[in-house]
Chain A
């Protein structure tokens, strides 16, 4: 069992609420006195993942486990899945529709950012079934 176990429902297509889960986690980590760099990395990676569930998957669930030496974030959705994960991970690759691009998304930088800011990341996806992104951040390690 982790020290703190949190779950959030991320609603689909609701941009007004997207980001609530990551900002809540950020506040909790701040209260717990985590290193600011680790907090920033967790917040950015989780926000990108949350937004991806909102835009690409019709919502999903975020499960966060916080321990003194690690923060683990699991993002699960039952969306359309990703056919080619390797391609999706490339900077600049995006299938975001135009209406989403006018909101400032669709640079194809979300997954690369998540990779960059976390210490470990795996993406499990199956077309027609859904996507699970699992990320770990170890406070006090790398950028």
Chain B
């Protein structure tokens, strides 16, 4: 499933990185400690986190996850937003907590 479709069906709001919305979403990874995420998130995973800073964008680029979903309305820094926009990494926002979001992702990928 394309990340765009998943986002629409889950009701996530796109904050930036529209250019990357056609990427496939395959699997999911959850985490806020960047070194941890760095070594474990897989290519095309949907990454659920509350970490909306420039380093998170760097980690997303290096691991080639398909998108970042900021749960519980966690904020995205201005510079992170700009970087994600230029790199075409979709960043979404949602109000639900990470668990509820993960359950939705599970349903979508099933």
Contact = CB atoms under 8 A, between A and B. Distances in A.
Interface of A: 15-16, 18-19, 22-23, 26, 40, 43-44, 47-48, 51, 103-110, 113, 116-117
Given A16-B79, A26-B62, A105 B54 contact: no
Interface of B: 32-36, 38-39, 51, 53-56, 58-59, 61-64, 79
Contact of A117 (B34, B39, B55, B58): B39
Contact of B58 (A19, A107, A116): A19
B34 A105 contact: yes
Contact of B56 (A26, A43, A104, A107): A104
Contacts of B39: 44, 109, 113, 116-117
Contacts of B32: 104
B58 A18 contact: yes
Given A105-B33, A107-B34, 9 more contacts: A16-B79, A23-B58, A44-B62, A48-B35, A48-B38, A104-B34, A104-B53, A109-B38, A113-B35
A77 to B, nearest CB: 18
A56 to B, nearest CB: 13
Nearest to A51: B55
A105 B35 contact: yes
Q: Is the interface of A mostly helix, strand, loop or mixed?
A: helix
A70 to B, nearest CB: 20
A55 to B, nearest CB: 10
B48 to A, nearest CB: 14
Contacts of A103: 34, 51, 53, 55
A109 B38 CA distance: 10
- Identify the interface centre among A47, A48, A108: most chain B CB within 10 Å of its CB: A47
- Select the residue from B33, B51, B63 with max chain A CB neighbours within 10 A: B33
A26 B36 CA distance: 20
Contacts of B79: 16
Contacts of B33: 104-107, 109
A22 B34 CA distance: 15
A95 B79 CA distance: 27
B35 A109 contact: yes
A44 to B, nearest CB: 6
B36 A47 contact: no
